[in-house]
Amino acid sequence: MTPPKHIWSGGWQEESEEDARLRAEAEAARRAQAEAAAAAAPGREAEGVRTPRRTSRGRIAGVATVGLLAVGGGAFAAGALLDGNGNDGPANPAALPAVASKPITPTRGQTRAGTIYAQASPAVVSIRTATGSGTGFLIDDQGTLVTNDHVVDTDRTVTVKFGTDGRNIRGVVRGVDPSSDLAVVHIDPSQAPADAKPLQFADSTGVQVGDVAIAIGNPFGLDRTVTEGIVSSLGRTLQAPNGFQIDDVIQTDAAINPGNSGGPLLDDGGRVIGVNSQIATSVGGSGNVGIGFAVPSNTVRQVLPGLKQGRSVSHAWLGVTIDSNPARITTPGASIASLNTNGPAESAGVQVGDLVTAVDGQPVSDASALSTAINRKAPGDHITLTVERNGSKTDIDVQLKARPAKTP
């Protein structure tokens, strides 16, 4: 199974061939790097760092294998917000509200999925850029659309369309957050069709494995396709476009494919529980194999108010790389593989080889748990890391910094 890929659609058949070529090149480069590192430091196996790579079509493909994990916190950081110039802005905007959801009762002769589709699909749009297309959806009466960061990529304006018969509408990219793979696009609200009722967000902490999951999007450019499945797992992690980690991701077996990126994942009440972002694929493939991933709605609700105002979101950063190779991890904890120069951890006295076993007294079982713990903090926060070093435990006070634009 290859690493999850972003479900972004340009010329998807060409992209599939391109992905296979890129994966082969990346694997060859990883092996060469590992051999060089092993020659330089005999006795220690070198592992590749999984990083995002942009293809010629402006999309993102997973590259190399996961051996080391850059820890800076995942997507749902309670971090401070910065204005467009990087200066300290006012207090964080309040998160978007979650709306209580109850199952929709279908009308006679109609399925629940059909009823939800009839209500929600008018608010789902296609978003086209210079390099491809994806999906988005309307969330308010002011013309605010949600999509993925990797859909809009570097474009500042996009083309939005409601349905196959809708007009082309100019959309302005208001804000992006590569750390959560989310973006906000604004359109003139008068251009939205009258039947496009804004979609509302559910509280994703209430989602359970086995719940109904309904995806609406534009797979392979096929307008507003609906698929139904269940929530197949919770608490997954994904790599964001800037190389950091997205936490609390929802896994679903609802069929999603290239072009579904940025579309809503809905519960049985028609509320948004996530934004479809990535899929797992078989070697050399680009289509659905029953494993899709969505950024959870609580992350979306937290990040969107700042993006809507044109701000950047600042996430907490520890500045370490964690060894996540299970062959070398024999006890619970997060093993420090490397430190970023002048990063928070290095400045505080953390050393390579330290095993982090707790943050602020809360146990840390592995690399993902450490990332989640940092994710809940804000830049400037002080934390206490409990580490094992040379057979003894010590507590280290660390002041977190704002995460850099991409993994160092």
Q: Which residues are catalytic?
A: 150, 181, 261
Q: What size, in residues, is the chain? A: 408
Q: What is the 3-state secondary structure (H, E, C) of the chain?
A: CCCCEECCECCHHHHHHHHHHHHHHHHHHHHHHHHHHHHHCCCCCCCCECEEEECCCCCEEEECCCCEEEECCCCCCCCCEECCCCCECCCCCCCCCCCCCCCCCCCCCCCHHHHHHHHHHHHEEEEECCCCEEEEEECCCCCEEEECHHHHCCCCEEEEECCCCCCCEEEEEEEEECCCCEEEEECCHHHCCCCCCCCCECCHHHCCCCCEEEEEECHHHCCCEEEEEEEEEEEEEEECCCCCEEEEEEEECCCCCCCCCCCEEECCCCCEEEEEEEECCCCCCCCCCCCEEEEEHHHHHHHHHHHHCCCEECCEECCEEEECCCCCCCCCCEEEEEECCCCHHHHHCCCCCCEEEEECCEECCCHHHHHHHHHCCCCCCEEEEEEEECCEEEEEEEECEECCCCCC
Q: What are 247's two structure tokens?
A: 């936490």
Residue 66 has a CB neighbour count (10 Å cut-off) of 15
Q: What are 67's two structure tokens?
A: 């051996």
Alpha carbon distance 89, 78 (integer Å):
15
First to last CA, the chain: 27
Is-contact 249 265, C-beta < 8 A? no
Q: Which of 149, 190, 197, 193 is nearest to 173 (CA)?
A: 149
Identify the sign of the CA torsion 186, 190, 193, 195.
positive
